[in-house]
Structure 1
Amino acid sequence: MPEHAQIEARTRAQAGTATPAPRRRPKNRKAQIATVAAEAFSERGYHGVSIDEIASAVGISGPALYRHFPNKYALFRHAVATLAEALEGAVGELDAGDESDPADVLDRQVTALIRTTIDNRRTGGLYRWERRYLTSDDRGEIRSRMVAINGRLAHTVSRLRPDLTHTDCVLLSTAMLSVVGSITTHRAPLSTRRLQQLLLDACRAIVAVPLAPDVPEPGAASTPQGLTVANKREVLLHEAVLLFDARGYHEVSIEEIGATAGINASGVYRHFPSKAELLAAAFRRAADRVAVAVGSALTESSTPAEALETLSEFYVRLSFEHSALMSVYFAEIGNLPAHHRSDLRNIQRLNIEDWARLIGELRSDLSPVECRFLVHAALNVVLDTGTVMRFRSTASNRRRVQQLMLAILLGGGRSAEPRG
């Protein structure tokens, strides 16, 4: 040992201090970075998170993070792809021959998806809302994985329900995936064991739904056609919602919104002081419409079952006729200014509570928290199955989605009281 090192060692020994161990980079550093980033992206969105924030949360510098990922997009893509791969792997491990009991196979497939989603609950929002920020090639790759998962479920459903068409089987498998994925849209606590059973029972109820006949309606449009709106504020709000839904809040500028509405940027600011205020106005509009639907259902009904039937019908119609507005309502709340976000989250919670209270009166086997989980699942299914149907607002499409909602909320073997 060199003399200076010997002197330093003796000095440390006399002072009672040990020689510090050399710092070593954790072997799982890349996985740590990926986990922290995925949670941040899921909670605050792709544009709401910086590389420096992620690095700080991990306890490293920005340059150190770049040794593992060349840029933020690479980190984002890794996070989304990891989730899709985990879900595909969970189902892929359960391939069984057609001689197996389809009910048992479906239970195992759904349970595997539920467990994987619970494990990734804090990052699950990435696939649902943030995937639009991927490049077209990457988005196509992720979509292919999800289509493969859906196809495996649909095949099992077809064996269990040979009376259904392939399209119907895909609809039911989409609804089941939506139920499982709904737990990523909120943070309500529930024991893992109870949550697994609650979601599995809801998926079983979906598979048993006697779907209404799919009756095509020639000329039915995905959005209702009407007279031209002359109010410039309303035109701006309408065009902003369409753009936010198609490309995401951060990818749209005030200038684009104004150009689409036929108004220059300075004209936009006469109606809305900022893009954030435009988004807040869209949320207020959606919240008001949901509140009206809830209030109408309650005042027009004499029993909880009748109110639930009415409310689900109103909600499905609202979602189909204003699909872009409702999608923005659920997808973009994290981009609202803080002073708006708190108020609007409270409004959303109150709407959920109204639904949950009705469920609780009809299902004494469920706790209030469990009722709220089912409400989130049912609302999620409306947007996901509506997307599969391209929100084509035919009576049969709306009735089918309503049937799925009621199956989730009421469970197998139950039904809301028929009206009229």
Structure 2
Amino acid sequence: MTTEPTSATRPRNRRQLIVEAAGRLFSERGYHAASMEEIAARVGITAAALYRHFPNKYALFAECAHAMVDRLVGALDELPPEAAPADVLAALVRVTVEHRASGGVYRWEARYLDREDRRLLRAKFGHVVGRVAEAVRREGPLPDERLRVVAALGAIGSITMHHTSIAQRRVEELLLACALRVVATAPAPATGSKHSVELPALPVARSRRAEILAAAVPLFARDGFANVTNGQIAEAVGLAPSALYRHYPGKVDILAAACLQAAGLLAQAVDRSLHEVADPRDAVVALAATYVAYSFEHTALTSVAEAEFVGLPAELQRPLVQAQREHIAVWEQQLRLARPELDPRQARVLVHAGFGVVVEAGRSLRWQDGPDRRAAVTGLVVGALGL
């Protein structure tokens, strides 16, 4: 009697392999752009075999979104209750770096989860935050403990959101040191001019095309690009859906225009912030304050540009990728002047960690703006960068 080759060679961890492959694809292309057929092909199985493990794409996506947080919870549960902050954060760094390619799904794509899955995800993340906070608290009290912990987790999680090539051990050491600095950073008061930022304003919508863009951005931010219809956008500006096509070839072109607008505003803000700033450290602080101010003031536009970028066709992504590279290059240059011991890759990882601090700290504060909040988050970014 012979055994079928398929059963003999079928890996016992096939479900895990599927989740890893799906997580990578969802991270690369977004939930709606990824297909079950592509996921099956990456695993090396048929679509029919994939459906034996998951009844539909949403079920697979939900498991991917929970997988990273479950790994973080599991890593913490293996530690003794009295573990020091360095040991707690090191465990989270190891898991995050190990699953870098698939671990970013929950940060942006989780908005496509249903209400119950979002509630469960928040509860699990809350458990992680609480465990880190307990360890930090034992080291001594500092104000805004939860904000500092969430910001440190944002710094760690940032590694899932970019492709900088760097050895695993080096990046783990870099992120651990970064996270430890963040949890030890006392929030800065909103005093002095270094946190005062004058941003370029959104352009006034003087044309129908501009009105459409201004109406679409908050809809994309609230519901996700894929869930917003042309009818909703048209209704918001008092047009028939067919009239949109006189101004934009399609909905994706509205998204591309929003991303370009975000990149343009940020570039203008950076130029202003660095005007007549000579000292590299002052330049990095100015960049941090500007990025924080920009994120708080243009929250909807920023979140759309960051969350929906992967859903754009390659030809529409190119100018945005170039703008992002130029922006990061400015940070990298100033940070390396302020910290000459860093090589380009280390500096780039830290810059992205700073962005991660802003994202998670801002979310924790529900993007409720104010001078003290901007100053506190700016101080955490500066701490993350090691200044």
Give TM-score, length-normalised by structure 2: 0.92
Distance 1:49 1:230, change over 3 A: same
Pair 1:328–1:197, CA change in 2 (3 A)? same
Q: In the alignment, does 2:186 pair up with 1:201?
A: no
Q: Structure 1 residues 333 and 170, CA, compared in 2 at 3 Å: closer, same or farther?
A: same
Moved over 4 A (4+): 225-230
Aligned counterpart in structure 1 of residue 116 of structure 2, from 137, 141, 147: 137
> 1:344 and 1:226, CA in 2 relative to 1: closer, same or farther beyond 3 A?
closer
Q: Deviations over 1:214-253 (max 9, x none)?
A: 89xxxxxxxxx99995543333212211121122111111
Report the equivalent of 2:350: 374
Post-superposition offset of 1:30: 2.1
The 2-side partners of 1:39 and 1:293 are apart by 33
2:20 maps to which residue? 35
Instruction: Say yes or no: does 1:74 pair with 2:40.
Output: no
User: Is the Cα–Cα contact under 8 Å of residues 30 and 68 in structure 1 kept in the other structure?
Assistant: yes
Cα displacement string for residues 12-69 of structure 1 (whole angstroms, at most 9, x for unaligned residues):
xxxxxxx997432332222222221121111111111111112222222222221111
Alpha-carbon spacing, 1:356–1:227, altered in 2? closer, same or farther (3 Å): closer
**Aligned-partner residue type, residue 242 of structure 1:** P
Q: Does the CA contact (< 8 Å) of 2:258 and 2:301 recur in 1?
A: yes
Could you report, residue by residue, the CA deviation over 1:333-366 in whole angstroms, capped at 9, with x for unpaired residues? 1111221112211210111011010000011121
* 8 Å CA contact 1:43, 1:125 repeated in 2: no
Which amino acid in 2 is paired with 1:250?
A
Count how many residue pairs are aligned between Structure 1 and Structure 2: 377
Partner SS state of residue 141, structure 1: helix
Q: Deviations over 1:388-417 (max 9, x none)?
A: 1122221111011110111112x1xx4xxx
- Measure the CA separation in 2 of the matches of 1:57 and 1:206: 38
The answer to whether the Cα contact below 8 Å between 2:69 and 2:124 also exists between their aligned partners in 1 is: yes
- Does the C-alpha gap of structure 1 residues 303 and 275 become closer, same or farther in structure 2, counting only changes over 3 Å? same
What corresponds to 2:197 in structure 1?
none
- Aligned residue for 1:60? 45
Pairwise CA distance, 1:213? 4.7
**Any gaps of 5 or more consecutive residues in structure 1?**
2-18, 98-103, 216-224, 415-420
* Residue matched to 1:400: 376
* Structure 1 residues 131-180: Cα deviation after superposition (integer angstroms, max 9, x where no partner): 1111111111111100111111122222323142xxx1110000011000
* Distance in 1 of aligned mates of 2:212 and 2:188: 38
Return the alpha-carbon distance in structure 1 between the equivalents of residues 139 and 207 of structure 2. Answer: 53
SS in 1 for 2:53: coil
**Aligned partner of residue 299 in structure 1, secondary structure:** coil
**Equivalent residue runs for 1:80-91 within 5 Å:** 80-91=65-76
Larger RCO: Structure 1 or Structure 2 (Cα < 8 Å, ≥ 6 residues apart)?
Answer: 2
- Maintained 8 Å contact 2:189/2:375: no
Distance 1:28 1:377 in 2: 32
> Mean Cα displacement is larger for which, 48-57 or 176-185?
48-57
Is the Cα–Cα contact under 8 Å of residues 142 and 186 in structure 2 kept in the other structure?
A: no
Preserved contact between residue 114 and residue 199 of structure 1 (Cα < 8 Å)? yes
Q: Secondary structure at the match of 1:332?
A: helix
Matched, 1:315 2:291: yes
**Could you tell me whether the CA contact under 8 Å between 2:205 and 2:214 is conserved in 1?**
no
Structure 1 residues 268-277 or 397-406, which shifts more? 268-277
| TM-score after normalising by structure 1 | 0.85
For the pair 1:109 / 2:88, whether they are aligned, the reply is yes
Alpha-carbon spacing, 1:254–1:197, altered in 2? closer, same or farther (3 Å): same
| Distance of 1:247 and 1:73 partners within structure 2 | 17
Indicate the RMSD between aligned Cα atoms, in angstroms.
2.3
Q: Which residue of 2 aligns with 1:325?
A: 301
Percent of paired sites with the same residue: 40
- 2:102 match: 123
Mapping for residues 226-305 of structure 1, pairs under 5 Å: 231-305=207-281
One-letter amino acid of the structure 1 residue matched with residue 306 of structure 2? F
Change (3 A) 1:214 1:290: closer
Instruction: Classify 1:262/1:28 alpha carbon distance in 2 versus 1 (closer, same or farther; 3 Å).
Output: same
